[in-house]
Amino acid sequence: MGDNVILVGFMGAGKSSVGRLLARRLGRCFVETDDMITAQEGRSIPDIFAARGEAHFRALEEETVRLLALKSGDVIATGGGLPCREGRPELLRAMGTVVWLRGEFDAVYERAQRAGARPMLAGRGRDEIEALYRAREPYYRQADLTVDTTDINPDQVVSKLLLLLRDRNAATLSPLGKPGSLSPLGRGQGEG
Ligand code: S3P
């Protein structure tokens, strides 16, 4: 369905914290693709990587993308690699408003290392991770909206994002004043 808000961006961009806050402000459900995978597999993301490897994890992401198509009105945080496949950005945009939480590499790298167990960082040096970041940028860049998170906290990111979503919502109003199909705030739910 077309009215989700879908957060994309590199590890450490703040998708989980921003997504949780945004969902609360909008009175919507918050979903994380990594949680969907963890629940389905009955084990953590690091355990999935350790037991079955990255290729298996990417296949699970593929399946998750199919399940996302059933969602409507949710705030969805995607894993950092999920949008980075041929055709994915288009597929995600068909499901809602895609938002890139962008950050300068040094800032997101530092955050990614600090929080959470991330198998994609394990055994890779800074240069290798930066190459991955650069290779993924063209996919993230295809988002509908971009918020730079480099020097601001999740609360500030959410405030900026709410303004952008509101502008976009206004731009998609039909002549009758009804929210357009792409409207991310078009379900009469206030910010609380
Ligand atoms: C990954 C990012 C992780 C998780 C998995 C792979 C990646 O999610 O999906 O470890 O390839 O960048 P976060 O972006 O939430 O860390």
Q: What is the pLDDT of residues 101-151, one digit of tens each?
A: 999 999 999 999 987 789 999 999 999 999 999 999 999 999 999 999 999
The model's confidence at residue 2, banded by pLDDT at 50, 70 and 90, is confident
- Going from the Cα of 52 to the center of ligand 1, the distance in angstroms, rounded, reads 16
- Going from the Cα of 76 to the center of ligand 1, the distance in angstroms, rounded, reads 14
Which of 33, 34, 65 maximizes ligand 1 atoms within 8 Å of its Cβ, making it the mutation to test the pocket? Answer: 34
Q: 3-state SS of the chain?
A: CCCEEEEECCCCCCHHHHHHHHHHHHCCCEEEHHHHHHHHHCCCHHHHHHHHHHHHHHHHHHHHHHHHCCCCCCEEECCCCCCCCCCHHHHHHCCEEEEEEECCHHHHHHHHHHCCCCCCCCCCCHHHHHHHHHHHHHHHCCCCEEEECCCCCHHHHHHHHHHHHHHHHHHCCCCCCCCCCCCCCCCCCCCC
- Going from the Cα of 123 to the center of ligand 1, the distance in angstroms, rounded, reads 15
* pTM, rounded to two decimals: 0.90
Which residue's CA lies nearest to atom 5 of ligand 1? 79
